């Protein structure tokens, strides 16, 4: 009887299959109601007393061997089925690359985040504007020579309608509807009829800021701009050069010190180490009055920058046209950037 059990044990060890039906048949042949194991346990009662101990040990070894063999084979069969499921031959053999944000959007979001942290809200307005909001309300009456500073796209059927040349028009609309204190930034697209070159384009993006309240001074403007440049570029010195803008008085250009460490630094700063990044100034009293705000009670400052200009500096991009060509080789360099 013991030899019979050992013979079955050898058969169990040698059995192998990856077919679910064959494995199940093997299990039933040994562990089923009419299986081999039940037959051997029934025969156990007829074994002489002096052999029961050895026979019982061998029988338990066989029972455990059958259970372990079935468990191992079923696991292997299940894993094989999962592998088959993962092999989806209808899928493309080439990897599908996920998209990423455009560098202009990345820089715009960074600028917005910096200013919202110090209490600036976000305001938006139409891209198709009228003459009042784009020019006249901003201290640029008809025939004012400063209008020639901006080559404008006018709508032929109505000379009073145009594509906005700056997002200052959004600030005018905001001041018309809201009384001070006002603290807002206006990001968006603007349009100017410029020759297409490595540093110019017809469509570009701006972020303009406005702060109107009582007793706002030029020192407040400088501190705000210092906070912005340090947040965006790291520790950096700024300087304000006197300039002219019709809607601010006094007006200034803002430069940051870029440095002269590399040949590229010398080239882009023309050997000075300084780079212009935006314009700014105190809001002209006429602009406040045009928007229904008492200039005798309130004062404020405004600033504006081109997002492309900032992005070109941050990423060392030499040609503005790269932003608009949608070349995947260029855009994928910004993958993983928020």
- What is the tens place of the pLDDT at every residue in 185-214? 999 999 887 665 545 557 889 999 999 999
Q: Which residues of 55-72 are buried (b: 16+ CB within 10 A; e: fewer)?
A: beebbeebbebbeebbee
Q: Residue 327 carries which DSSP code?
A: -
| Pairing relationship of beta strands 121-122 and 182-191 according to DSSP bridges | parallel
Q: Where does residue 27 fall: left (phi above 0), alpha (psi -120 to 50 degrees), or beta otherwise?
A: alpha
Q: What mean pLDDT is predicted for residues 48-70?
A: 80
Inter-residue long-range contacts of 90-93, CB under 8 Å, 24+ positions, other chains counted:
none
Residue 230 is predicted with a pLDDT of 93
- Torsion sign, CA atoms 142, 148, 149, 152: positive
Of the pLDDT bands very low, low, confident and very high (cuts 50, 70, 90), residue 87 is low
Q: How buried is 268 (Cβ within 10 angstroms: 0-12 exposed, 13-18 middle, 19+ buried)?
A: middle
Nearest to 209 by CA among 227, 189, 225: 225
Rounded to whole angstroms, how far apart are CA atoms 25 and 17?
11
Q: Where does residue 259 fall: left (phi above 0), alpha (psi -120 to 50 degrees), or beta otherwise?
A: left
Round the CA-based radius of gyration of the chain to a whole number and report it: 39
Q: What mean pLDDT is predicted for residues 253-260?
A: 91
Distances in Å between the Cα of 305 and the Cα atoms of 3, 20, 207, 286 are 94, 70, 6, 22
Q: How buried is 178 (Cβ within 10 angstroms: 0-12 exposed, 13-18 middle, 19+ buried)?
A: middle
**168: Cβ–Cβ under 8 A, 6 or more apart, which residues?**
134, 138, 186, 208, 247, 302, 304
| Pairing relationship of beta strands 182-191 and 128-130 according to DSSP bridges | unpaired
Residue 80 is predicted with a pLDDT of 67
Contact (Cβ atoms closer than 8 angstroms) between residue 101 and residue 337:
yes
For the cut 60, the answer to whether the pLDDT of residue 84 exceeds it is no
Residue 94 is predicted with a pLDDT of 74
Query: Structure tokens of 7?
Result: 């013979």
Query: Structure tokens of 226?
Result: 């210092």
Query: Structure tokens of 335?
Result: 């993958």
Q: Which residue has the higher pLDDT, 153 or 306?
A: 306
Query: Structure tokens of 147?
Result: 């209008």
Nearest to 122 by CA among 133, 113, 135: 113
Q: Which residue has the higher pLDDT, 304 or 22?
A: 304
Contact (Cβ atoms closer than 8 angstroms) between residue 163 and residue 188:
no
Contact (Cβ atoms closer than 8 angstroms) between residue 166 and residue 150:
yes
Q: From the CB of residue 166, how many other CB atoms can be counted at a distance below 10 Å?
A: 22
Rounded to whole angstroms, how far apart are CA atoms 137 and 144?
12
Residue 29 is predicted with a pLDDT of 87
For the cut 80, the answer to whether the pLDDT of residue 35 exceeds it is yes
Q: Which residue has the higher pLDDT, 123 or 10?
A: 123
Residue 335 is predicted with a pLDDT of 76
Residue appearing with tokens 């500073």: 149
Rounded to whole angstroms, how far apart are CA atoms 267 and 111?
26
């Amino acid at each position: 009887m013991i030899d019979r059990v050992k013979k079955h044990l050898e058969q169990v060890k040698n059995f192998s299959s990856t077919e679910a039906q064959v494995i199940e048949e093997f299990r039933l042949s040994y562990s089923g109601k009419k299986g081999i194991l039940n037959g051997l346990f029934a025969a156990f009662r007829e074994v002489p007393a002096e052999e029961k101990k050895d026979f019982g040990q061998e029988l338990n070894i066989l029972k455990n061997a059958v259970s372990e063999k079935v468990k191992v084979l079923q696991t292997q069969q299940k894993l094989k089925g999962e592998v088959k499921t993962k092999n989806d031959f209808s899928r493309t053999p080439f990897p599908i690359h996920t998209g990423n944000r455009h560098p202009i959007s990345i820089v715009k979001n960074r600028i917005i985040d910096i200013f919202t942290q110090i209490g600036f809200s976000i305001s938006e307005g139409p891209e198709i504007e009228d003459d009042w909001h784009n020019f006249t309300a901003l201290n640029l009456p008809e025939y004012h020579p400063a209008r020639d500073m901006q080559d404008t796209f006018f709508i032929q059927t109505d000379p009073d309608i145009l594509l906005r040349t700056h997002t200052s028009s959004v600030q005018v609309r905001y001041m018309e509807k809201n009384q001070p204190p006002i603290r807002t930034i206006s990001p968006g697209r603007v349009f100017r009829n410029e020759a297409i070159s490595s540093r110019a384009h017809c469509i570009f993006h701006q972020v303009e800021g406005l702060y109107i309240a009582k007793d706002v001074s030029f020192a407040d403007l400088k501190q705000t701009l210092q906070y912005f440049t340090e947040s965006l570029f790291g520790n950096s010195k700024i300087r304000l050069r006197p300039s002219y803008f019709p809607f601010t008085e006094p007006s200034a250009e803002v430069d940051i010190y870029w440095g002269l460490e590399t040949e590229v630094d010398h080239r882009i700063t023309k050997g000075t180490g300084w780079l212009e990044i935006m314009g700014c100034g105190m809001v002209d009293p006429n602009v406040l009055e045009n928007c229904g705000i008492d200039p005798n009670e309130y004062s404020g400052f405004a600033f504006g920058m081109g997002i492309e200009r900032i992005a070109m500096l941050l990423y060392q991009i030499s040609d503005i046209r790269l932003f608009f060509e949608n070349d995947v080789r260029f855009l994928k360099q910004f993958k993983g950037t928020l």
